[in-house]
Amino acid sequence: MAEFLGAMLDATRADINAAYRSKHTGGRREIELHRGALRLTDEALAELRGHIEQLATRFGDRDAPGVWTRVVVAVVDLQDRPPRDAPA
């Protein structure tokens, strides 16, 4: 799994590099990258995942006009979560 995820990140890096090369030569490519850390309870994590799924569904019409755009969202715990039966 780690190799697969690494390959996804490598492909994303290649997409970003290609977009910046295009911009450098006068092309128009939109690039937005955000990185941050949030403290999420299990409930908040489930809600965030639900919102991401809603966005993917809303904008995922493959027949819609527009420019193909790669979207990558990574939700990765930075530490172990407490057991589900642990007090809050």
pLDDT of residue 64: 87
Please name which of 32, 11, 8 lies closest in space to residue 20, comparing C-alpha atoms.
32
Q: How far apart are CA 3 and CA 83, in angstroms?
A: 27
Tell me if 72 sits within 8 A of 12, measured CB to CB: yes
pTM of the entire predicted model: 0.76
Q: How confident is the model at residue 88 (pLDDT cuts 50, 70, 90)?
A: low
What average pLDDT is seen over the chain? 92
Is the pLDDT confidence value at 85 over 90?
Answer: no
